Structure 1
Amino acid sequence: MDSVVQLQRQLVDYSAQLFNEGFLDDQFNQLQQLQDESNPDFVVEVVTLFFEDSERLLDELAKALEQQSVDYRKIDAHVHQLKGSSSSIGAQRVQKVCIGFRNFCEERNIEGCQKCLQQVKHEYSLVKTKLETLFKLEQKILAAGGTIHWPM
């Protein structure tokens, strides 16, 4: 049972680190509170949908920014969608970059948009890796017979 307690401590510390470093905000806690025995994989399912949607949007953004004639309204719509979905799971750093991205769309600033796309891709990649690590820790705890109580 000591290993379970150790894993639970690791999970608490890792989760706190994600909030302290601004990767996640309170929306993620609210998402976790919606998870219960009747839907034990709720958070993983929602976040997996976020990953799939984000990767599609990032591809669309990259393609749209490569066009000869850039459609800033289309780009802004994609960024707005990415901002909303990142906000809904509490991916705070992705959401913040999207806000700046939208400003560059409004200004029709191609260099700013391209720079923001790289920043969004970077922040998305970081939060995806961090959340996958968090979920693996949760799985280790459950596999060892432990329990998880959110928010931590």
Structure 2
Amino acid sequence: MLGLGADLLWADMNRLLAFLFHQGVLDEQFLQLQQLQDETSPNFVSEVVNIYFHESEKLLTNLRALLMEREFSDYKKMGIHLNQFMGSSSSIGAKRVRNVCVAFRAATQQNNRAGCLRALEMLEHEYCYLKNKLHELFQIEQQRALAAGVRYPAQN
């Protein structure tokens, strides 16, 4: 018999996912990513998302560095970083992050530095929110997996 804790944690995971979908943080691409996870690769989603986080940190650093240059004028290079960020966000289902990237890219196409600075702040905010919520989801998933592995003797 599986522990009751595993069932409660499963419900917590589903509630958190439903909330993230309802808030537009995630989209159906995240579900497709989850479908690729199985017994042979039980950590597939968290591994892919951790790669996304690692690469996103670099992109955010590059974007901030470009905008902080005194004589900033390389909107094209910024657009390249944003396209990478947008693509990787789309691939994991990070809908709100992707949407901010679209708005950010529009500001770069207009050579609007003030708009780019505002968009960068929004991007950093949405990215941090996503990162915190996905870490929370993965922690619950880890606890659920541990609880599911614990078997209790049948009660007489």
Instruction: Normalising by structure 1, report the TM-score.
Output: 0.94
Q: State the SS of the aligned residue for 1:36.
A: coil
Q: Which consecutive unaligned segments of at least 5 residues does structure 2 have? A: 150-156
Corresponding position of 1:23? 25
Residue 5 of structure 1, CA deviation: 1.3
Equivalent in 95, 99, 114 of residue 98 of structure 2:
95
Following TM superposition, by how much is the alpha carbon of 1:9 offset from its aligned partner in structure 2, in angstroms?
Answer: 1.0
Q: Percent identity?
A: 45
- Aligned residue for 1:41? 43
Of 107, 110, 117, which residue of structure 1 is paired with 2:110? 107
Task: Point out the structure with max Rg over C-alpha.
Answer: 2
What letter is aligned with 1:30? Q
Deviation at 1:82, TM superposition (A): 0.4
Equivalent residue, structure 2, for 1:84: 87
1:4 aligns with 2:6: yes
CA RMSD across the alignment = 0.9
Cα distance between partner residues in 1 of 2:49 and 2:5 = 27
TM-score, normalised by the number of residues in structure 2: 0.91
Alignment partners' CA distance in 1, 2:86 and 2:109:
15
- Equivalent-residue separation in structure 1 for 2:112 and 2:53 (angstroms): 27
TM-fit CA distance, 1:39: 1.1
Please give the alpha-carbon distance, in whole angstroms, between the structure 1 residues aligned to 2:33 and 2:40.
15
Of the structure 1 ranges 23-32 and 5-14, higher mean CA displacement relative to structure 2 is found in 5-14
Cα distance between partner residues in 2 of 1:18 and 1:9 = 14
After TM superposition, which residue ranges in structure 1, 4 or more long, deviate above 3 angstroms?
A: none
For residues 40-60 of structure 1, give each alpha carbon's deviation from its aligned partner in whole angstroms, at most 9, with x where no partner exists.
111011000000000000000
List gaps (5 residues or longer) in structure 1.
147-152
CA distance in 2, matches of 1:6, 1:69: 52
Task: State which of 59, 62, 65 in structure 1 corresponds to 2:61.
Answer: 59
The alpha-carbon deviation at position 70 of structure 1 amounts to 2.1
Aligned ranges for residues 113-152 of structure 1 at < 5 Å? 113-145=116-148
Q: Which one has more relative contact order, counting CA pairs under 8 Å at least 6 apart?
A: 2
After the TM superposition, which of the residue ranges 2-11 and 112-121 deviates more from structure 2?
2-11
